[in-house]
Structure 1
Amino acid sequence: MKVNFEQNEQLADDDIRVTVQAAHLSQTVIELIQALEARQQSVDVYPITVDERVVLVPITDIIALEVYGTDVTLYTIEATYKIRGVLKKILGKLNQQDFIQIAKGSAINLNHLQSLEAAFSGSMTAFLSNQLKLTVSRKYLPELRQQLRM
């Protein structure tokens, strides 16, 4: 991959235009475009309502998310929060390059993944920061392997 920079003084200071060129539209090109779009939409904190106040949790501090019905447990470096929500919507607000779904009801921040260990019937156990362990289901394992370039 070759990266070029071209200065365009006709653009405003905060206006950036990105053009992706390739011989054909491949999966790598699609992933690059999605990563650029996610970067544009991402924020550095995730607001959580706790006891009638809003706590701004740094996204880099989020270790994992687990769903039980309509309750989502958000594990961070400092604390564990119980919030209401849908896993898919929460993941949509987080940096798509760092977070990956590992089971129907759980997702992890790859920056907090310390190791993986084989478990029963083709699944794996993910060992994360703060001694947290989550099961990676067989269905989501190929995507995790691809993300980790395994």
Structure 2
Amino acid sequence: MVNCRFELNPQFSATEPEVIVRAASKNIDIEELITYIEQYQNQTISSKILPVKTNDQLIMLKTDAIILADIQQSTLLIYTLEGTFTTSETLIHFAKRVDNTNFIQISKHAYINLDHLLSLSDSFSGNMTATLVKNIKTDVSRKYVKSLMQHLGIK
């Protein structure tokens, strides 16, 4: 039988609880519980909400749903699992606000979310083509290929 209880501690932040697991011994059930808690913690960290101002509204995007951010002329196109959104935000400002190690710059005009990268293929003159979910394709500039490969752990 599992004994669970909640203890109020005003020294903790309301958004950052502390979870302690106590047991007589560390068995498979305890390991599964710890794994579950860690997975939940990782999910809440990765699904940060990013407010984005479009022409007529302010939308809240989950960062883990963002596939690609691409500047075309002076407009930033944000491709997500739900659709594409446009904003006048700069790519540099967007990248700073996302602040997620899964996002990497692949050209002067684009950042991708590596969680949505399906494949890379050689293109012309040292460039590559990145294929992302929803059949989105974008160019990886020769200048950024090396850092992308390092980020992916490939030499």
**Distance of 2:73 and 2:124 partners within structure 1:** 25
Partner of 1:57: 61
1:6-50 per-residue CA deviation (whole Å, 9 max, x = no partner) reads xxxxxx4349xxxxxxxxxxxxxxxxxxxxxxxxxx981111234
Q: What is the TM-score with the length of structure 1 in the denominator?
A: 0.70
* Mapped partners of 1:96, 1:104: distance in 2: 18
Q: Where does residue 136 of structure 1 map in the other structure? A: 140
Which residue in the other structure is 2:124 paired with?
Answer: 120
- Normalising by the residue count of structure 2, what TM-score does the alignment of the two structures yield? 0.68
For 1:54 and 1:45, locate their aligned partners in 2 and report how far apart those are by CA, in whole Å. Answer: 12
CA distance in 2, matches of 1:90, 1:50: 13
Larger Rg belongs to: 2
Gaps of 5+ in 2: 1-10, 17-45
Cα distance in 2, alignment partners of residues 65 and 124 from structure 1: 17
Calculate the aligned-residue CA RMSD, in Å. Answer: 2.2
Q: In structure 2, what is the Cα distance between the partners aligned to 1:43 and 1:93? A: 13
In 1, the alpha carbon distance for the partners of 2:117 and 2:83 equals: 17
Whether the aligned pair in 2 keeps the contact of 1:43 and 1:94 (CA below 8 Å) is no
What is the count of residue pairs matched by the alignment?
Answer: 115
Deviation at 1:112, TM superposition (A): 0.3
State the alpha-carbon separation in 1 of the partners of residues 68 and 87 from structure 2. Answer: 13
CA distances 1:39-77 after superposition (whole Å, capped 9, x unpaired): xxx981111234533211111000001102321000000
2:114 & 2:93 partners in 1: Cα distance? Answer: 18
1:45·1:57 contact (CA, 8 Å) conserved in 2? yes
Shift of residue 95 of structure 1? 3.1
- The letter for the 1-side match of 2:73 is G
CA contact (8 A) 1:48 1:56 kept: yes
Tell me the CA shift for residue 140 of structure 1. Answer: 0.5
What is the percent sequence identity of the aligned residues? 33
The residue matched to 2:53 in structure 1 has which SS?
A: strand
